[in-house]
């Protein structure tokens, strides 16, 4: 069941902080003090956390609005237009929090919330403790109750105020700080801790840039699979087009160099396709 009956204009009827990109649906502009680009004091102590926020929302201008503002606030936004894409990004990018729309094209957002919450902690590929904030046009009491029953941590109805959404995100992140997360990923002599954003090679810590780490984390999620350039650009950089393959190639090249410190070979360029991470014994 989807809430696709919701008028398109309503979903984009959100407060837009100064400087944010104008939505293509011509959303009404509210003057929002403290929104988006000016940071309230409460945000300051969160500056050290570069949280990755997954936005699962099929309405283009709402998703773009959220990604733009989250990015302006120093978060790392990931965008998904469907539950399937959201699932994939959860599995490969380990977001710190997900914003979930309920009316998604391929499944009801409540099903996705339930799926995450009931994931097997050991064998599952999703993180059952991932903070989930439902953001939806469905606003009545029954809808809210159902969402909490299914396992969401917070609920906000559209139209919404971005400063309020941000405040709720910060509250959820504060509460989830230090929570146990899906364990470390090990690929041969390489070890990755998604929560600590640290990787070790033969027990020695690696110094990686934010994007190099994100790229490594994405590849390590399925070490034997070949990821296409498009997938990596979309997943790690959020690019929707293939115009920036040189960015990916230069990051992959630097990452490969750092991983060969001890003679191992990890990041493999699969000519004409993309990249894969393999155990150091290969090559
Ligand atoms: Ca929707």
Using an 8 Å Cβ cutoff, are 270 and 226 in contact? Answer: yes
More confident residue, 82 or 123: 82
pLDDT at 30 exceeding the cut of 70:
no
CA of 279 to the centre of ligand 1 (A): 41
Distance (Å) from CA 92 to ligand 1 centroid: 23
Would you state the pLDDT for residue 247?
Answer: 86
The confidence score (pLDDT) of residue 230 equals 84
Over residues 161-196, the pLDDT tens digits come to: 999 999 999 999 988 876 655 567 878 888 888 767
Domain limits, CATH 1.10.10.10, in the chain: 185-280
User: Phi and psi (nearest 5°) for 220?
Assistant: -70, -20
Q: Average pLDDT over the chain, rounded to whole? A: 79
pLDDT of residue 122: 57
CATH 3.40.50.2300 residue ranges in the chain?
Answer: 11-176
Q: When comparing pLDDT for 243 and 262, which is higher?
A: 262
CATH T-level assignment (fold) for domain 11-176 = Rossmann fold (3.40.50)
Question: What is the whole-number distance in angstroms between the Cα of residue 88 and the centre of ligand 1?
Answer: 18
Going from the Cα of 59 to the center of ligand 1, the distance in angstroms, rounded, reads 6
User: How many A from CA of 102 to the centre of ligand 1?
Assistant: 6
Structure confidence at residue 233 as a pLDDT band (50, 70, 90): confident
The pLDDT > 90 percentage for the chain reads 41
User: Which has the closest alpha carbon to 17: 93, 94, 54, 70?
Assistant: 70
Q: In CATH terms, is domain 185-280 a member of 1.10.10.10?
A: yes
Band of the pLDDT at 264, cuts 50, 70, 90?
Answer: confident
């Amino acid at each position: 069941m989807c809430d696709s009956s919701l008028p398109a204009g309503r979903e984009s009827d959100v407060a837009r902080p100064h400087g944010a990109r104008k939505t293509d649906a011509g959303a009404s502009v509210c003057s929002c003090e403290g929104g988006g680009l000016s940071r309230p004091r409460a945000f300051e102590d969160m500056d050290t956390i570069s949280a990755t926020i997954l936005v699962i929302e099929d309405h283009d201008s709402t998703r773009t609005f959220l990604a733009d503002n989250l990015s302006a606030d120093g978060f790392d936004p990931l965008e998904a237009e469907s539950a399937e894409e959201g699932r994939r990004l959860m599995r490969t990018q380990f977001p710190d929090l997900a914003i979930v729309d309920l009316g998604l094209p391929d499944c009801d957002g409540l099903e996705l919330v339930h799926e995450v919450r009931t994931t097997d902690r050991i064998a599952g590929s999703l993180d059952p403790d991932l903070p989930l904030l439902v953001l939806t046009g469905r606003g009545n009491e029954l809808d809210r109750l159902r969402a909490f029953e299914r396992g969401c941590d917070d609920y906000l109805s559209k139209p919404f105020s971005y400063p309020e959404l941000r405040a709720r995100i910060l509250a959820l992140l504060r509460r989830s700080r230090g929570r146990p997360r899906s364990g470390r990923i090990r690929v041969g002599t390489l070890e990755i801790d998604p929560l600590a954003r640290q990787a070790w090679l033969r027990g020695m810590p690696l110094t990686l840039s934010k994007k190099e780490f994100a790229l490594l984390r994405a590849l390590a999620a399925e070490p034997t699979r070949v990821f296409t350039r498009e997938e990596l650009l979309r997943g790690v950089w959020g690019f929707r087009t293939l115009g920036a393959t040189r960015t990916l190639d230069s990051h992959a090249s630097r990452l490969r160099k750092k991983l060969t410190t001890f003679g191992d070979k990890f990041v493999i360029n699969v000519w004409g396709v993309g990249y894969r991470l393999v155990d150091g014994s290969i090559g």
